[in-house]
């Protein structure tokens, strides 16, 4: 076999490896994008350098404890703080507050930090830092887009934390592709991962998102980093949520909550009070639902509105802060199992305060809200409801019922409609909340006096 036949070729756009040259990439369909060489297969240590097999009990623990960021909500999501030598990818929509969050993190970081701005000028970042009160002597800023220059600055400043804003706008001159392309993003991210692991520096990469809310760039980018964090919220509301989608050093079940103010992001210690602050009692279509986000119980108001549709026009189904497909399923369950016909009505369902809920425990609250809006009958003020609804109209158990009930009782609610098999602890029993167990959605409608 000749040397040409043994040489692999990789696509400079998507990184797909081909055994031989071809005019078109089989991975992304790009023409004339295959380059010869072994860049896609970097040299790896030999088996002797990596060591042979050993018992898992003999493997040493993870070196390096998390360093607290000084922000209780960020530390909550990251399991205590940022681990030295780790690489974190932060994603979020434009204008949601990613730069504000990072500047506040850098302001409280207990060590030398470097902020690499590849999208804004140093003067723009300085102006924002002035407004947020984030200036400190150990915070360095570097307006640069080329990776080698950034790595040289890291060597001179010797920071313990580096923020790159953003990974889509930096470029490596060794790669021929344009900034933001798949191969360029992958190559730049790999350079930062290498420097983080070799020097023990914590690196935070800011990533763009697509119109669907997913992280832009190659999927490999999420595999390269240790932690993937999503910063989300509605720009028309003050609430911001920080979630860990991937975390190699801890749990992904935590949620950080912030309120966007003129002076920056303020941690929210009591999110339930924030969501219920503007609630009006005795309004048809309004039902309060105790939900679980991560490990935090949060009480949220679900609102519904029904309106007769127009002739020969398909009815509208609008879900704000909720899964639209699940809303359609619940409407079908109400029609088939409870005789509540919403087929000719426009249906609008929303979570108050800009909350985005996805867990199935809110199903029962949505059903009660829909029937309350249709019958123009308000659910009693002191009532909360939770439970997953099945296609047979049964109400299934929801996770962590005791914590939901305790949070509802703390806020002054006196009655809870819950699944029949819900198990509560002694603390919930002493909270003074009356627990009503139901087996079906029809039973829940009877218990809430909606039928």
Helix (H, G, I), strand (E, B) or coil at 64: coil
Whether residue 54 is predicted with pLDDT greater than 50 in this model: the reply is yes
Which is more confidently placed, 2 or 354? 354
Please answer whether residues 161 and 201 qualify as being in contact, where contact means their C-beta atoms are separated by less than 8 angstroms: yes
The closest of 115, 143, 118, 112 to 129, measured between CA atoms, is 115
Whether residue 430 is predicted with pLDDT greater than 60 in this model: the reply is no
Q: Note the pLDDT of residue 181.
A: 83
- What number of residues does the chain have? 451
Q: Note the pLDDT of residue 20.
A: 78
SS3 of the chain: helix, strand, coil, percent, to 5: 30, 25, 45
Q: Note the pLDDT of residue 322.
A: 94
Using pLDDT thresholds of 50, 70 and 90, give the confidence band for residue 199: very high
Q: Note the pLDDT of residue 47.
A: 47
Q: Is the peptide bond before 264 cis (omega within 30 degrees of 0)?
A: no
Neighbouring C-beta atoms of residue 42, cutoff 10 Å: 8
Q: Note the pLDDT of residue 274.
A: 87
Using pLDDT thresholds of 50, 70 and 90, give the confidence band for residue 233: confident
Q: Note the pLDDT of residue 50.
A: 54
Whether residue 122 is predicted with pLDDT greater than 70 in this model: the reply is yes
Q: How far apart are CA 215 and CA 249, in angstroms?
A: 21
Contacts of 58 (CB under 8 A, 6+ apart): none
Q: Note the pLDDT of residue 42.
A: 43
Whether residue 192 is predicted with pLDDT greater than 80 in this model: the reply is yes
Q: Note the pLDDT of residue 178.
A: 81
Q: Averaged over 407-426, what is the pLDDT?
A: 89
Sheet containing strand 34-36, edge to edge, reads 17-18, 9-11, 34-36
Report the percent of the chain where pLDDT is more than 70: 90
Q: Note the pLDDT of residue 408.
A: 95
Whether residue 3 is predicted with pLDDT greater than 50 in this model: the reply is no
Q: How far apart are CA 328 and CA 347, in angstroms?
A: 10
Q: What is the DSSP letter of 157?
A: H
Tell me the per-residue pLDDT of 358-369, one tens digit each, with 9 for 90 and over.
899 999 999 999
Whether residue 439 is predicted with pLDDT greater than 80 in this model: the reply is yes
What is the bridge-based pairing of β-strands 87-91 and 202-207? parallel
Please answer whether residues 189 and 228 qualify as being in contact, where contact means their C-beta atoms are separated by less than 8 angstroms: no
Tell me the per-residue pLDDT of 344-393, one tens digit each, with 9 for 90 and over.
999 999 998 878 888 999 999 999 999 999 999 999 999 999 999 999 99
Q: How far apart are CA 33 and CA 207, in angstroms?
A: 25
Q: Note the pLDDT of residue 218.
A: 63
The closest of 256, 350, 240, 258 to 301, measured between CA atoms, is 350
Tell me the per-residue pLDDT of 124-154, one tens digit each, with 9 for 90 and over.
999 999 999 999 999 999 999 999 999 999 9
Tell me the per-residue pLDDT of 64-117, one tens digit each, with 9 for 90 and over.
789 999 999 999 999 999 999 999 999 998 889 999 999 999 999 999 999 999
Report the percent of the chain where pLDDT is more than 90: 66
Range from 180-184, 205-209, 295-299 carrying the lowest mean pLDDT: 180-184
The closest of 427, 446, 430, 449 to 438, measured between CA atoms, is 446
Please answer whether residues 32 and 23 qualify as being in contact, where contact means their C-beta atoms are separated by less than 8 angstroms: yes
Tokens matching residue 136: 């400190």
Phi-psi region of 285 (alpha: psi -120 to 50; beta: other; left: phi over 0): left
Q: What is the mean pLDDT of the chain?
A: 88
Tokens matching residue 366: 């949505």
Using pLDDT thresholds of 50, 70 and 90, give the confidence band for residue 217: low
Tokens matching residue 417: 């409609």
Q: Note the pLDDT of residue 227.
A: 96
Secondary structure string (H, E, C) spanning 373-419? HHHCCCCCCCEEECCEECCCCEEECCCCHHHHHHHHHHCCCCEEEEE
DSSP assignment of 101-120, as one string? Answer: HHHHHHHH-SS-EEEEESSS
Q: Note the pLDDT of residue 51.
A: 64
Contacts of 256 (CB under 8 A, 6+ apart): 73, 74, 76, 77, 241, 242, 243, 267
Q: Averaged over 245-262, what is the pLDDT?
A: 91
Tell me the per-residue pLDDT of 287-327, one tens digit each, with 9 for 90 and over.
999 999 878 899 999 999 999 999 889 999 999 999 999 99
């Amino acid at each position: 076999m000749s040397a040409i036949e043994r040489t692999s070729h990789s696509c400079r756009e998507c990184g797909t490896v081909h055994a031989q040259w071809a005019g078109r990439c089989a991975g992304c369909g790009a023409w004339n994008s295959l380059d010869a060489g072994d860049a896609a297969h970097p040299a790896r240590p030999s088996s002797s350098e990596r060591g042979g097999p050993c018992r898992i009990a003999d493997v040493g623990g993870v070196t390096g404890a998390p360093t607290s960021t000084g922000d209780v909500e960020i530390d909550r999501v990251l399991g205590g703080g940022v681990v030295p030598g780790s690489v974190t990818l932060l994603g979020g929509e434009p204008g949601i507050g990613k730069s504000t969050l990072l500047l506040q993190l850098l302001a409280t970081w207990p060590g030398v930090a470097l902020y690499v701005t590849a999208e804004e000028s140093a003067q723009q970042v300085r102006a924002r830092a002035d407004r947020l009160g984030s200036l400190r002597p150990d915070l360095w800023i570097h307006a640069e887009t080329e990776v080698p220059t950034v790595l040289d600055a890291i060597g001179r400043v010797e920071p313990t934390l580096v923020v790159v804003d953003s990974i889509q706008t930096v470029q490596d001159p060794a790669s021929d592709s344009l900034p933001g392309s798949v191969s360029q993003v992958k190559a730049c991210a790999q350079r930062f991962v290498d420097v983080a692991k070799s020097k023990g520096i914590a690196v935070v990469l800011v990533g763009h998102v697509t119109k669907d809310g997913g992280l832009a760039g190659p999927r490999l980018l999420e595999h390269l980093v240790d932690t993937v964090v999503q910063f989300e919220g509605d720009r028309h509301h003050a609430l911001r949520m920080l979630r860990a989608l991937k975390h190699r050093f801890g749990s992904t079940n935590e949620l950080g909550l912030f309120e966007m103010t003129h002076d920056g992001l303020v941690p929210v210690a009591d999110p339930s009070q924030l969501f219920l602050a503007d609630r009006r009692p005795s309004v048809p279509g309004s039902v309060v639902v105790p939900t679980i986000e991560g490990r935090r119980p949060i009480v949220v108001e679900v609102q519904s509105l029904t309106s007769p549709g127009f002739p020969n026009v398909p009815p509208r189904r609008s879900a704000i802060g909720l899964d639209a497909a699940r809303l359609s399923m619940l409407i079908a369950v109400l029609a088939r199992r409870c005789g509540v016909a919403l087929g000719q009505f426009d249906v609008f369902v929303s979570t108050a305060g800009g909350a985005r809920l996805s867990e199935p425990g809110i199903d029962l609250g949505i059903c009660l809200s829909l029937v309350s809006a249709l019958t123009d009958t308000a659910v009693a003020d002191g009532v909360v409801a939770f439970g997953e609804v099945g296609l047979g109209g049964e109400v299934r158990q929801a996770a962590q019922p005791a914590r939901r009930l305790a949070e509802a009782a703390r806020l002054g609610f006196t009655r809870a409609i819950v699944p029949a098999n819900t198990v509560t602890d002694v603390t919930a029993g002493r909270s003074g909340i009356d627990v009503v167990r139901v087996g079906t959605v029809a039973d829940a409608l009877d218990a809430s006096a909606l039928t």
